[in-house]
A and B are shown apart, each in its own frame.
Chain A
Amino acid sequence: MSRIAEHPILGPLKPSGREVSILVDGEEVIAYEGEMIAAALMASGRRVFRYTEKRREPRGLYCAIGRCTDCVMIVNGIPNVRTCVTPVEPGMIIETQRGIGRWGGGDHGIH
Chain B
Amino acid sequence: MKRYCDSLVIGGGIIGLSCGYYLSREGFKVQVIDSMEFGSGSSGACDDMILLQSKKPGVVLELAMESLEMYRFLHMELGCDLGFKQMGGMILIENQEELAVMEEFVSSQRSCGLNVDIVDREELRRRQPHVSDRFISSTYSPDDSQVDPFLVMKGFINAGQRLGMEVRYREAAVTAEKNGAGRWQVLTSTGCIVEAENVVISAGAWSNIVGGLFDISIPIFPRRGQLLITEKIPPIGETNLWSASYMVTKLRPDLAKVRENQSEYNELGLGFSFTRTAHGNYLIGSTREEQAGFKKLVDYRALEALSRQVAHIIPLMRHVHIIRHIAGFRPATPDGKMILGPWPGKEGLYVASGHEGDGIAMAPITGKLLSDIFTGRKSITNMKELIPRCMVV
Contacts and interface: CB of A to CB of B under 8 A. Distances in A.
Nearest to B132: A111
B319 A100 contact: no
B234 A103 contact: yes
B231 A80 contact: yes
A78 B280 CA distance: 16
Nearest to A82: B321
B316 interface: yes
B158 to A, nearest CB: 25
Contacts of B320: 80
B280 A100 contact: yes
Name which of B233, B316, B319 has the most chain A CB atoms within 10 A of its CB: B319
Interface in A74-111: 78-81, 100-103, 110-111
A19 interface: no
B316 A100 contact: no
A28 interface: no
A25 interface: no
Nearest to B280: A100
B325 interface: no
Contacts of B319: 78, 81
Contact of A53 (B130, B232, B321): B232
A101 B316 contact: no
Contacts, number: 24
A111 B233 contact: no
DSSP majority for the A interface? Answer: loop
Interface in A30-78: 53, 78
Nearest to A80: B231
B316 A103 contact: yes
Interface in B211-247: 231-234, 236
Contacts of B233: 79-80, 100-101
B316 A110 contact: yes
Contacts of A111: 315-316
Nearest to A102: B234
Contacts of B321: 80
Name which of B234, B315, B320 has the most chain A CB atoms within 10 A of its CB: B234
Interface string B139-153: 000000000000000
A29 B152 CA distance: 51
A75 to B, nearest CB: 9
A110 B132 CA distance: 12
Name which of A100, A101, A110 has the most chain B CB atoms within 10 A of its CB: A100
Contacts of A103: 130, 234, 236, 316
Contacts of B234: 79, 100-103
A72 to B, nearest CB: 9
A103 B317 CA distance: 11
A111 B319 CA distance: 11
A100 B315 contact: no
Nearest to B281: A100
A29 B31 CA distance: 66
Contacts of A81: 319
Instruction: Sort A-B residue pairs by CB-CB distance and give the 8 closest, nearest first.
Output: A78-B319, A100-B232, A102-B234, A103-B234, A100-B280, A100-B234, A101-B234, A80-B231
